[in-house]
Amino acid sequence: MWDPAVYHRYGTERSRPFFDLMARIGADGPREVVDLGCGPGELTATLAERWPQARVTGLDSSPEMIAKAAALGSAAQFRVADLTAWRPGPATGVVVTNAALQWVPEHRELITAWARELPAGAWFAMQVPGNFDAPSHRALREVARSEPYAAVVGDVVRDAPVDDAAGYAALLLDAGATVDAWETTYVHLLPDGGDEHPVLRWMEGTALRPVKAALGDLAWRTFRVTLNARLRAVYPARSGHVAFPFRRIFVVAHL
């Protein structure tokens, strides 16, 4: 289950890649704009502000996220839906998917299918995290694959569910698009105050969700304590902050 309140921790840091992605979309007057895996909807709402003439729709498979989004009162419309079932229509002008496709194992096939079905002139823009080899994820995998957790969550944490930017660029070039692809490592400087390491608090909003869901309450508490200690060792605080480098992968395609 997604918890919009936990996901909103570090909201400023999380939203920056979305705006960096948007800055490379050149669409003037799209009729329909869709945000696949829209989450709590604030970022989708900015699409409705940018293209007020467009019908803007945010789709997400989490009812909790869509409830939050629908309460914003934005001009965008929000719907609970699995993005794997979405298909472009003749009026689709912009497709945005920010920090969502890493959760969808078949996303490469979907990207190829969407690119082939999108009308000429449409834009497709995606961003996924590229931090699965970072110390944070290595620590997560080590703890998840150690005793007594391995039997329950050893398989829950994935090695690298995404490609690099060149891999996605190739898929879209093959479909005949003009492609702009890049990677950025943001160095988030997270304030460090209490016992809980800020990278643990960050990961609770995303990567740790399936682990928490799979472990019972007691096991989750000890897992958290163990991971917290590991993170403190690999991301030490300095001047009250922890530097958390976070690589992200971006691709914008124009059909």
Ligand X SMILES: C[S@@+](CC[C@H](N)C(=O)[O-])C[C@H]1O[C@@H](n2cnc3c(N)ncnc32)[C@H](O)[C@@H]1O
Distance CA 23, CA 129 (A): 18
CB of residue 150 to ligand X, shortest distance in Å: 25
* Residue whose CB is less far from ligand X, 149 or 211: 211
Nearest to 37 by CA among 125, 105, 100, 108: 100
* Residue whose CB is less far from ligand X, 30 or 129: 129
Q: Please, are residues 198 and 191 in contact by the beta-carbon 8 Å criterion?
A: yes
CB of residue 148 to ligand X, shortest distance in Å: 29
- Cα 126 to chain centroid distance, Å, stands at 9
Residue nearest ligand X, CB atom distance: 39
Q: How many residues does the chain have?
A: 255
What number of CA atoms fall less than 13 Å from residue 123's CA on the CB side? 23
CB of residue 87 to ligand X, shortest distance in Å: 13
Q: What is the DSSP string of 189-217?
A: EEE--SSS-HHHHHHHTTTTHHHHHHS-H
Q: Please, are residues 165 and 183 in contact by the beta-carbon 8 Å criterion?
A: yes
* The pair of three-digit structure tokens given for residue 64, joined into one six-digit string: 């909790």
* Residue whose CB is less far from ligand X, 36 or 115: 36
Q: Please, are residues 237 and 99 in contact by the beta-carbon 8 Å criterion?
A: no
Q: Name the DSSP letter for residue 33.
A: E
Q: Please, are residues 62 and 78 in contact by the beta-carbon 8 Å criterion?
A: no
* Residue whose CB is less far from ligand X, 100 or 149: 100
Q: Which residues bind ligand X (CB under 6 A)?
A: 2, 14, 18, 37-39, 43, 59-62, 65, 82-84, 98-100, 103-104, 206
* Residue whose CB is less far from ligand X, 43 or 54: 43
CB of residue 106 to ligand X, shortest distance in Å: 9
CB of residue 156 to ligand X, shortest distance in Å: 15
CB of residue 41 to ligand X, shortest distance in Å: 8
The residue type of 219 is A
* Residue whose CB is less far from ligand X, 56 or 83: 83
